[in-house]
Amino acid sequence: MLQLLSDLVHWLTSSAQWSGPGGITARLLEHIQYSLLATLAGAVLALPLGLFIGHTRRFAFLAINLAGFGRALPTVGLVTLVFLAGGLSMWPVYVALIALAVPVIVTNTYAGMTAVDPDVTDAARGVGMTGFQVLWQIELPLALPLVMTGLRLAMIQVVSTATIAAYVSFGGLGRYIFDGLAQRDLVQVLGGALLVAALAVLLDLAMAGVQRSLFRHRPADAS
Amino acid sequence: MPNVPRPHRRTVLAGLFAAATVPALAACSSGVTSLKEGDAGGAGAADSGAGLVVGTANFTENQILGHLYAEALRGTGVKATVKPSLGSREIVVPALEGGDIDLLPEYQGNLLLHFDKKAEETQAGELQNALAATLPESLEVLPYAAAEDKDVFVVTRATARKYGLKSYADLREADGELVFGGPAEDKTRVVGLVGFRERYDVTFKEFKALDASGPLVKGALKKGDVDIANLFSTDADIIKNDWVVLTDPEHMVPAQHVVPVVRSAVADAPVRKALARLGALLTTDELSTLNKRVDVDRKDPDDVAADWAAKAGLTKN
Amino acid sequence: MTAIDWAWFPDHIGDMTTLTLDHLSIAVPAVLSGLVIALPLAVVAHRVRKLRGLILGASNVLFTVPSLAFFVLLLPVTGLTRGTAITGLTIYTLVVLIRNTVEGLDSVPAHAREASLAMGSRPLRTLLTVELPLALPVIMAGVRVATVMTISLVSVASYIGYGGLGQLFTDGFQRSYTTPVIAGVLLTLLLALLADAVLVAVQYLCTPWARHRTKEA
């Protein structure tokens, strides 16, 4: 056990480990790239949907249940399906990651929109604002804390799950887990797992920090 | 003061907690949650009435072999169950050592290299002896089958023509130019990049960790994402796609006859007899045909194995 | 290659049933074990201010570790058994279960607890008979999320041969056969839906006071 830990420390700290195409830096950057792209794409799809449902209150059942559906969808199954349909590319990975991000963002955006005090929106409409102006100038700013929480939760899950890129031969930190298993190198598996966790935690803290500073004057909203 | 609810459902809740704890603890121990007939996890599986537990690795040929073993065993009156597709060799061999499974279909050369990375034996006979000497105390290999399934490194006909490739030695003509596709372990093993470097003085432009003769590497070879791929010699797709199997003059790839690895504790006479009968009847061609039935005709491994075993007379009891 | 082979379904009803039951035999113990571990931890986190951050933080970090890594790292410890899959999945339920239980306990009105203590109940009895029942809706919401999530994650354990319906994914992947993969995805979704519905029913049965409240509203 102790030997494993000391090997691990050695693996994480040796400079050779961090350089080169298979090095930690390269894998980290690949992993961040997959995660950012997927979360962004998910946001592009999910935010308008969540805002629309939250604003019009139509299809509310979709927003409420989408998170459940997304949670139930097995990632491995989705990756396999897209791979079988489209061959070897990053598509299986991105489809699966976006499918993971979208429900979380939709549900939280919807929750944020519905948390807006109806009196405020009523007043806004009362002074003659159009629906779109109400959405953009009143609802969205007020919903922003929960929207950001949604983005944050989505990001964390995506970072954790982006290891599947290695399952279909691509890079990222998942490479250490799969290669470590294949080469019977438990230190590599452990190292990869720790790096993913560390990345997710750091990103979470960073985004929480951003949230806190954005909503400093609204202590009730900052989570 | 608002009504403080005092639910007499506390007994329900207490019951729920108790109900939650008991099955949770029980389920974590081996065997209680088994729902498949005869499925028993944990050490000593053979004693729990499920009979011998045959494990298989995560590729279809191994699953066919596992089911064939089970059919043969049942034919001599030994109870057997199959746990299919448990994972790669790195997962299933330790499981055998640990007693979670009792029997595993393996391949001589790669099995030996798994236990002794520096092993040099390449002929079937010497491999068998080396295995007997190298395997841990608790395991033993039974006589090997006629059937063999080797790791082969194949290229498309176009690539073969372009560089004039017939053998692995010819790859020197394309040294550093080809993209190599294979399972992740190829990077560090003799039957892989290390062997190519040491035996043939060949290096590759890039190594792509895909899978062992699976859809990833075959798809990559078809698409041109890799130029040379690590496949299995009995894979039906080689002929189907007109891929060229390069020859191995320096014997980098050792013989790979199918060989049963079994826990000595459960390898009694009926088990040995059953597997010896199977080994004698199973040829490479027969195995290739079975592979084709599963991979191309989409029949299930257990059905295909049962069919073949019945026709071969293994299941008469 | 991507067309569905409809003949596969009637031929494999037995397999689908076995795999579904297999799937449940991994998911259910995982969630139950998670509850057994999470409840006491959540009570501690709720009561002891200093440990709250630590417990919630630790479970959050565990959640970010990729599930496959957990299974692989547990192999030398628990062997290639069902227990390995269950243990790994139990760890994942903790984040949701602890967090929801803490939130649920937080939401219990202070005066309810105080009244119970004032009437002579010891703290443990108050916890079991007043606080936890009142926190039940939020806790059950957590159990539902954890259950659905676990049912989805079981398929990752197919990498070590205990993926339940996930075995259909490996089978389809190995043979480039789309039909079992589709079957696996659909059955997993169905199973999650069913489990969620069952839990909603359980919650309804266990919180009769909430039913009266909705009647008044």
- pLDDT at site C2: 59
Determine whether the interchain pair B41/C115 forms a contact, defined as Cβ–Cβ distance below 8 Å. no
> At which residue do the structure tokens 């008991």 appear?
B22
Element spanning A98, H or E: helix A91-114
- What integer pLDDT is reported at residue B39 of this predicted model? 38
Q: Which of B157, B126, B65 is nearest to B251 (CA)?
A: B126
pLDDT in tens, C95-128: 999 999 999 998 888 888 888 888 888 888 888 8
**A78 has a chain C CB within 8 A of its CB:** yes
Q: In what side-by-side order are the strands of the sheet with B151-156?
A: B206-209, B179-182, B228-232, B151-156, B243-245
Please determine, for residue C129, whether its predicted confidence score (pLDDT) is greater than 90.
Answer: no
Within 13 A of B123's CA, how many CA atoms are on the CB side? 2
Tell me: do B173 and B143 sit in the same domain: no
Considering chain A, what is the average pLDDT of its residues? 88
| CB-nearest partner of C25 from B33, B55, B294 | B33
In a domain, B159, yes or no: yes
Q: What is the pLDDT of residues B83-98, one digit of tens each?
A: 999 988 889 999 999 9
CATH number of the domain that residue B177 is part of: 3.40.190.120
Domain presence at residue B67? yes
CA neighbours closer than 13 Å in the CB half-sphere of residue A74: 34
Q: Smallest CA–CA separation between B232 and chain C, in Å?
A: 13
B10 contacts chain C (CB < 8 A): yes
Single-letter residue type at C114? E
Given a cut of 60, is residue B47 above it in pLDDT? no
How far from chain centre, in Å, is Cα B267?
Answer: 20
Cα angle, residue B260 at apex, residues B256 and B263 outer, rounded to 5°: 135
The complex's ipTM?
Answer: 0.87
Total number of domains constituting chain B: 2
Tell me which residue in A77, A174, A181 faces C169 most closely, judged by beta carbons: A77
**Pairing mode, strands B151-156 and B228-232:** antiparallel
The secondary structure of B212-235 as a DSSP string is SSSHHHHHHHHHTS-SEEEEETT-
Q: Is the pLDDT of residue C59 over 70?
A: yes
List pLDDT tens digits, range B222-255.
989 999 999 999 998 898 899 999 999 988 999 9
Reported as a single tens digit per residue, the pLDDT across A65-110 is: 888 888 899 999 999 999 999 888 899 999 999 999 999 999 999 9
According to the model, what pLDDT value does residue C71 have? Answer: 92
CA distance B269 to chain A (A): 34
A20 within a domain of the structure (yes/no): no
pTM of the model: 0.85
- B224 interfaces chain A, CB cutoff of 8 Å: no
User: What pLDDT score was predicted for residue A41?
Assistant: 97
Nearest to A84 among C2, C72, C156 (CB): C2
Q: In this structure, what CATH number is given to the domain that contains residue B84?
A: 3.40.190.10
Which band of pLDDT confidence, cut at 50, 70 and 90, is reported for residue B28? Answer: very low
pLDDT of residue B32: 28
Instruction: For A1-56, write each residue's pLDDT tens digit.
Output: 788 888 888 888 887 778 777 789 999 999 999 999 999 999 999 999 999 888 88
Q: Which residues contact C49 (CB under 8 A, 6 or more apart)?
A: none
- Nearest chain A alpha carbon to C146: A71
Statement: residue C157 has pLDDT above 70: yes
Q: Best interface-test mutation with B: which of C4, C12, C22, C32 has the largest number of B CBs within 10 A?
A: C32
Partner C, chain B 101-140, Cβ-Cβ below 8 Å: 101
What subunits touch chain C, counting only 3 or more CB pairs under 8 A? A, B
| CATH number where A45 lies | 1.10.3720.10
pLDDT range class, residue A218, cuts 50, 70, 90: low
Residue of A nearest to C142 (CA): A68
Count of CB pairs separated by less than 8 Å, A with B: 38
Instruction: Assess whether pLDDT exceeds 60 at residue B298.
Output: yes
Name every residue whose Cβ is closer than 8 Å to that of residue B260 and which is 6 or more positions away in sequence: B69, B103, B104, B105, B106, B141, B142, B275, B279
Query: Taking a contact as any Cβ pair under 8 Å apart, which residues of chain A between 107 and 126 contact chain C?
Result: none
A126 touches chain B (CB under 8 A): no
Total beta-carbon pairs less than 8 A apart between chain B and chain C: 134
The Cα–Cα gap between A115 and B21 comes to: 38
Same domain, B57 and B96: yes
Please report which helix (H) or strand (E) contains residue B244, including its range.
strand B243-245
Using pLDDT thresholds of 50, 70 and 90, give the confidence band for residue B49: low
Residue A221 is assigned to a structural domain of this protein: no
pLDDT tens digit sequence for B264-293: 999 999 999 999 999 999 999 999 999 999
Chain B residues with beta carbon closer than 8 angstroms to that of A181: 88, 90-91, 184
Q: Å from C174 to nearest chain B CA?
A: 6
Residue B15 banded pLDDT, cuts 50, 70, 90: low
Whether A201 maps to a domain, the answer reads yes
> Where among B187, B219, B245 does a domain terminate?
B245
Whether A14 is in a domain gets the answer: no
Residues 6 or more apart in contact with residue A206 via CB below 8 angstroms? none
Please tell me whether residues B198 and B75 are part of one structural domain: no
Task: Single out the residue in B191, B225, B245 at which a domain terminates.
Answer: B245
Which pLDDT belongs to residue B43?
Answer: 39
Of B307, B313, B302, the closest CA to residue B56 belongs to: B302
- Give the pairing type, strands B80-83 and B139-141: unpaired
Structure tokens at B175: 């040294």
pLDDT-based confidence at B131, cuts 50/70/90?
Answer: very high
| Nearest C-alpha neighbor of C162 from the set C65, C94, C78, C97 | C78
Residues B81 and B114 in one domain: yes
Length of chain C: 217
Chain B CB contacts of C134 under 8 Å are: 5
Quick check: is B156 in a domain? Answer: yes
Position A162 pLDDT exceeds 90: yes
Say whether residue A72 is in contact with chain C using an 8 A CB cutoff.
yes
Percent of chain B with pLDDT strictly greater than 90: 65
Same domain for B209 and B71: no
Q: Do B58 and C80 touch (CB under 8 A)?
A: no
Domain count, chain A: 1
Structural domain containing residue A70: 25-214
Helix axes B108-115, B124-134, angle to 10 degrees: 30
Note the pLDDT of residue A116: 87
Which region, left, alpha or beta, applies to residue B192 given φ > 0 means left and ψ of -120 to 50 means alpha? left
Residues B234 and B291 in one domain: no
Q: Are B161 and B181 found together in one domain?
A: yes
Domain coverage including residue B169: 151-245
Alpha helix stretches (DSSP H) within chain C: 8-11, 13-47, 49-64, 67-78, 82-106, 110-118, 123-126, 132-153, 166-175, 178-206, 208-216
Measured in residues, chain A has a length of 223
Instruction: Report the distance separating Cα A160 and Cα B117, nearest Å.
Output: 34
CB contact under 8 A, B58 and C161: yes
Strand order of the β-sheet with B52-55 is B80-83, B52-55, B103-107, B258-263, B139-141
Model confidence band, residue B34 (pLDDT cutoffs 50, 70, 90): very low
Specify the pLDDT at position C202. 92
- Specify if B2 maps to a domain: no
- Residues B68, B79, single domain; the answer is yes
Same structural domain, B83 and B219: no
Interval B142-201: pLDDT, tens? 999 999 999 999 999 999 999 999 999 999 988 999 999 998 888 888 889 999 999 999
Of A88, A179, A183, the CB nearest to B219: A88
Cα dist. A87→A83, B21, B210, B215, C36 in Å?
Answer: 5, 46, 13, 9, 43
Model confidence band, residue C212 (pLDDT cutoffs 50, 70, 90)? low
pLDDT, position A219: 52
Please tell me if residue B11 touches chain C, with a CB cutoff of 8 Å. no
Looking at the domain assignment, is residue A99 inside a domain? yes
* CATH (one of 3.40.50.2300, 1.10.10.60, 1.10.3720.10, 1.10.260.40) for C21-209: 1.10.3720.10
On average, the pLDDT of chain B sits at: 84
Question: Is B140 in the same domain as B265?
Answer: yes
B73-to-B54, B141, B158, B257, B268 alpha-carbon distances in Å: 10, 16, 46, 20, 11
Q: What is the pLDDT of residue C128?
A: 84
In this predicted structure, the answer to whether residue A199 has a pLDDT above a threshold of 60 is: yes
Q: Which residue has the tokens 């957990």?
A: C70
Please indicate, yes or no, whether residues B259 and B132 belong to a single structural domain of this protein: yes
Same structural domain, B144 and B259: yes
Q: How far is CA A30 from CA A165, A204, B180, in A?
A: 10, 18, 21
